[in-house]
Amino acid sequence: MKKIYIASAISALIFASCKPSVNITTPPSAGNTDLRNYLAIGANMTAGYADSSLYVSSQFASIPKRLYDRFTLVTGVTGAKTSFIQPYLKTDNGFNYASDLTRVPKKVLSWVRHCNGDSSLSPIYYPGGYNLSDADYFTSPGANGQVNNIGVPGMRVADLPVAGYSSTLNMYAKRFFVGSSTTPMDELSYRVRNLEPTFFTLWLGFEDVLGFALAGGQGDGSMNAAVATGTTNYYNTNDITPATVFKTQYEAAVQVAISRGSQGILINLPDIERLPFFTALPIKGLYIPRQTLADSLTAMYAGYRYTFSLGYNNYIVKTHTGVLRQAVDGELLLMSCPIDSILCAGWGSTRPIPQEYVITTEELQNIRSATVIYNNFIRDMALRYNLPLSDMNTFMRTMSSSVVFNGITYNAQYLSGGSFSLDGVHPNPRGNALIANNIIGTINNFYKSSIPLMDANNYAGVLFP
Amino acid sequence: MNKSILAALCLFSAATCQAGVHKLYVQGIRQLAMGGTGTAWQWDASTIYSNPAGLARLKNLQAYGSVSHIYQADAYGNSLTSESSQAQVLRPINVYFGGTVKKDGNLGLGIGVYSPYSQAIQWDDNWTGRYLVQSYQMSTLFIQPTVAYKFCDEVSVGAGFVIATGVFDYRYALPVQNATGQDAKAQLHSNASGVGFNLGVQVKVSDRVQLGATYRSQVNMEMGGGSANFTVPNTLKPLYPNTRFDGLMPMPQVFSLGVGFKPLNNEKLTMQFDLNYTGWNSYDSLRLNFAQHTTSIEDLHSPRKYRNTLSTHLGANYKVGKVLSLMAGAAYEPTPVTDGYVAPDMPDADRVMFSCGASVHPLHRFTILAALQYNTSMKRRAATYNFANFNGTYLSQTFTPGIGLYYNF
């Protein structure tokens, strides 16, 4: 036996000296671009908004931060040099305003007991509450007040020319905009002059459609909306931004972004209808377990000639104009619709689901055409200004059906899909990393660079209690 | 077969008792030293494995025992990361007893216990491929009662019945995280068993040339009622109930042809050349079927699409004197793993092997054997596992010393 041990000790020694290793060294390069100084321009996705709020770790997981981390791997003169400063909040509690303008923290997952006694995993406000210090003005620790990520959650292309935007209209803008009476376009212009970026990402336009969708299509979706009463150039957040306004302001933003010779990339709009917020609750969700119930509903809606049958039926809803009707296939029920009202208050069956929770076929058409018109324009801008276009519309379409990455299959199923945060609209850190990888792919292709991708699975996905 | 003996043997060979598998060459120490050859020549009782027909050519009864130490390590790299698996030690044992019943008789009887296949790999729990595999182990132990008959000096045949046992253990991370971001885990464990046979023929062409052929049947290792345990966040427990699973792991059929000859005008040098054709294509996919299904637990089905391989083996034995012989060998083994199906539980590539060894005959009836084998894969660059979109470069190496001894009755 002793012999065996000696033999194994010797061979272990020999083996340790020839343990295999694999090193693949493709030196990252910036190719034809220059990553020294990166400025991220945009709104929700840029700022790192997730779980219905902005909070410190969501900002650390933002898409621009992910991109910057990769840019730093590029060595040499065109690699990332300066630090990447984001206007961080102070806590991880999250800070936002609910629709009724009460202050709220971020959302977290929890077991929620419903009115009918069932429980389900649902998002609730973070039990620790919000922290008022998160509304404090952000003072950059960098030289010259440097801020690299100027993404403002909720900011639309339509908001770019609105004077005083940061003082009253957007608390996130208020946290770091330099002037309170100036416009977001002025702020952009100031940041470009201040930072002299060599590279930028510009992801704007999503919020110009999103507000209409989140409000259940309760605004003007015709793309001919009028300015809000009492204002000269402000559009209600529930409206879809008129195409003329969008085009003028978007092009102006691109011109400002490149005004100091910066290169960069434009990112287009994903399809809103594929986001979990709009798919989590099926419109055909009215479950009728007994024929007598079906019969009594059919009798109740005899005047409308709706018939109900055993199993799943389309909900009874109110349309945009307040007319009661049964929903048709393809219409969308928003995740914001209170489940308890459906379960116990007869919403969708004996009473219609209010219009602010439903996107009807017409409203869906508004959303689709706006997305197409905006995206066509963004593509034109990319061509005109010789910038690459990150086709996020196509990528997030793939991501919503399935993207396989190192053994994980991601899709846009709420919670189980793994890539979206609890608000169902914005990606979680893993989704951000998948998106950042796709953007890097486009950058590498266009600028002949070789910026390495990241292991998306190394970041947080949906966290279950 | 006595179950407690089986269990004891399994325990003794500890790490051995381990789907993708590697073919091992440790069933005989001399064969290990001679590049995995041995189909044409009966050296000792380990011929029960390498060619049952050789059993009728042994001059007497023999007891044979050996142990080897397989140090296996794998490395993975992509443009972002470079990782090494933790070196695995397998310690397969072999025991053979048998030979001609009457001294120089025509009838050979024997029994062998050996490990023909095994695979063990353990990556870091947090490595980049953790959702595919954290650790994976499949070990086998075959028990083979054998009978052989020598019709004349020129021709002998042999046949063995194989009772196979094995252990399967597979751990991987589940893509759900708890509140602190830790991955959930799946842990699958099962015993496996199967039956098969081993046939051989040996032809003595002259005093200096022998030919041999063997056919080892496929052995389907069935896993029944294995335990599947899931460690998940509390809220997800209803979706991940601990359950049982079944599965089947085919150990491939092998057809071998060999020639052994003495090229010099004396008894000193023996050379052997073997070809092994292995029916790996029986391993079409790793399929594990769970007893209970939920929206989160579906049967596991990962495609492998192995291809058949033809490996080439060369070995030599040089008798230095009455007491000492020296052996050396080399082999080339193409990988059964095809492009697009390189999974990190068995990241294989074409392999080369070099080996050497010695046998010492210090006392009447006693022989001691020692061998050393180095086995390395070629670097498998840009290897892909399309099923899971998992890509990278792999390199695996094993280093195998072994010792054995036998006693002639």
ipTM reported for the complex, 2 dp:
0.87
Answer whether B77 sits within 8 Å of A22, measured CB to CB.
yes
With vertex at residue A372, the alpha carbon angle to CA A370 and CA A378, rounded to the nearest 5 degrees, is 100
Both A90 and A170 in one domain: the answer is: yes
Is A365 within the bounds of a domain?
yes
* Whether residue A293 is found in the same domain as residue A315: yes
pLDDT interval class at A12 (50, 70, 90): low
Q: Compare all CA atoms of chain A with the CA of B371 and give the residue at the minimum distance.
A: A7
- The answer to the question of residue A296 being in a domain is yes
pLDDT for the residue numbered A369 = 97
Residue B113 scores a pLDDT above 80: yes
CB contact, 8 Å: A109 with chain B?
yes
Whether residue B176 lies within 8 A of chain A, CB to CB, comes out as: yes
Residue A105 domain-assigned (yes or no): yes
Whether residue A295 is found in the same domain as residue A369:
no
Residue B67: which of A4, A14, A454 has the nearest Cβ? A4
Helix (H) or strand (E) holding B86: none
Let me know whether A167 and A190 are in one domain: yes
Q: Does pLDDT of B159 surpass 90?
A: yes
Residue B81 in this model has a pLDDT that exceeds 90: no
Contact call for B175 and A408, based on CB within 8 A: yes
What is the nearest CA distance from B139 to chain A, expressed in angstroms?
20
* Contact criterion met (CB < 8 Å) for B178 and A465: yes
Band (A16; pLDDT cuts 50, 70, 90): low
Whether A423 and A437 map to the same domain: the answer is: yes
Distance CA A195, CA B193 (A): 69
Helix (H) or strand (E) holding B235: none
A373 C-beta neighbours (distance < 10 Å), count: 16
Position of tokens 């407690």?
B4
Q: What distance in Å separates the CA atoms of residue B12 and residue B95, rounded to the nearest whole number? A: 12
| Shared-domain flag, residues A200 and A81 | yes
| Optimal mutation site among A2, A10, A22, A458, interface B, most CBs of chain B within 10 A | A22
Do A95 and A229 reside in the same domain of the chain?
yes
* Residues of chain A with C-beta less than 8 angstroms from the C-beta of B372: 11
Same domain, A59 and A135: yes
Mean pLDDT of B239-259: 94
pLDDT at residue number A234: 96
Could you tell me if A209 and A234 lie in one domain?
A: yes
The number of folded domains in chain B is: 1
Judgement on whether residues A167 and A79 belong to the same structural domain of the protein: yes
Shortest distance, CA B390 to any CA of chain A (angstroms) = 5
Looking at beta carbons, which pairs linking B3-11 to residues 24 or more positions away fall under 8 Å? B6/B141, B6/B143, B6/B165, B9/B93, B9/B113, B9/B141, B9/B143, B10/B141, B10/B165, B10/B167
Q: What is the pLDDT of residues A292-340, one digit of tens each?
A: 999 999 999 999 999 999 999 999 999 888 899 999 999 999 999 999 9
Q: Which domain holds residue B49?
A: 3-408
Helix ranges (H only) for B35-166 are: 47-50
Tokens of residue A436, six digits: 């950042």
Of A16, A20, A460, the CB nearest to B395: A20
Q: How many domains does chain A have?
A: 2
Asked if residues A263 and A446 have their Cβ atoms less than 8 Å apart, the reply is: no
| Structural domain span for residue A51 | 38-268+361-458
Q: Which of A295, A327, A359 delimits the end of a domain?
A: A359
The predicted structure's pLDDT at residue A355: 94
pLDDT digits (tens, 9 = 90+) for A170-226: 999 999 999 888 899 999 999 999 999 999 999 999 999 999 999 999 999 999 999
Rounded to a whole number, what is the distance in Å from the CA of B74 to chain A's nearest CA?
A: 6
CATH code at B295? Answer: 2.40.160.60
Note whether A464 contacts B390, CB cutoff 8 Å.
Answer: no
On chain A, the residues whose CB falls within 8 A of the CB of B132 are 406-407
pLDDT digits (tens, 9 = 90+) for B122-143: 999 999 999 999 999 999 999 9
Domain end point (choices A359, A376, A391): A359
| Cα–Cα dist A46/A137, whole Å | 19
Domain shared by A224 and A329, yes or no: no
Q: Could you say which of A14, A21, A24 has the minimum Cβ distance to residue B78? A: A24
Structure confidence at residue B17 as a pLDDT band (50, 70, 90): very low
- CA distances in angstroms from B405 to B355, B371, B399, listed in the order given: 18, 12, 20
Taking an 8 Å cut-off on Cβ atoms, the answer to whether B399 and A20 are in contact is: no
Q: Give the domain-ending residue among A359, A378, A395.
A: A359
Does residue A49 fall inside a structural domain? yes
Q: How confident is the model at residue B77, as a pLDDT?
A: 87
Paired residues of A376 in beta bridges: none
Q: Are residues A340 and A372 in the same domain?
A: no
